[in-house]
């Protein structure tokens, strides 16, 4: 599958065709989630605390633990 940039997906999300816009938004959400998971993993490997990650994501530490499984990304 051809990789589509986030900016291209964002442009498609403004499409006049509502189904096309919804498809682009769904793909954009999946890609953002994938990139967030990668960034969290890299932060944890780099020694960043769950609390600091939570602050950067604008959620509670508990929410980050719930979403990413606590020790799943290392360093308890």
Q: Which residues contact 76 (CB under 8 A, 6 or more apart)?
A: 70
Q: Does the pLDDT of residue 58 top 80, yes or no?
A: yes
Contact in structure between 28 and 6 (CB atoms under 8 Å): yes
Q: Does the pLDDT of residue 2 top 90, yes or no?
A: no
Contact in structure between 57 and 33 (CB atoms under 8 Å): no
Q: Does the pLDDT of residue 39 top 60, yes or no?
A: yes
Rounded to whole angstroms, the Cα distance separating 75 from 5 reads 32
Predicted pLDDT of residue 65? 86
Q: How confident is the model at residue 32 (pLDDT cuts 50, 70, 90)?
A: very high
Task: Quote the pTM value.
Answer: 0.80
Query: DSSP H helical segments within 1-76, as ranges?
Result: 6-13, 18-45, 50-57, 61-68
């Amino acid at each position: 599958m051809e990789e589509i940039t986030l900016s291209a997906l964002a442009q498609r999300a403004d499409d006049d065709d509502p189904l096309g816009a919804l498809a682009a938004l769904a793909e954009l959400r999946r890609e953002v989630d994938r990139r967030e998971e990668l960034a969290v993993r890299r932060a944890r490997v780099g020694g960043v605390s769950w609390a600091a990650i939570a602050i950067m994501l604008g959620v509670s530490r508990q929410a980050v633990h719930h979403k990413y499984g606590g020790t799943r990304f290392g360093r308890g």
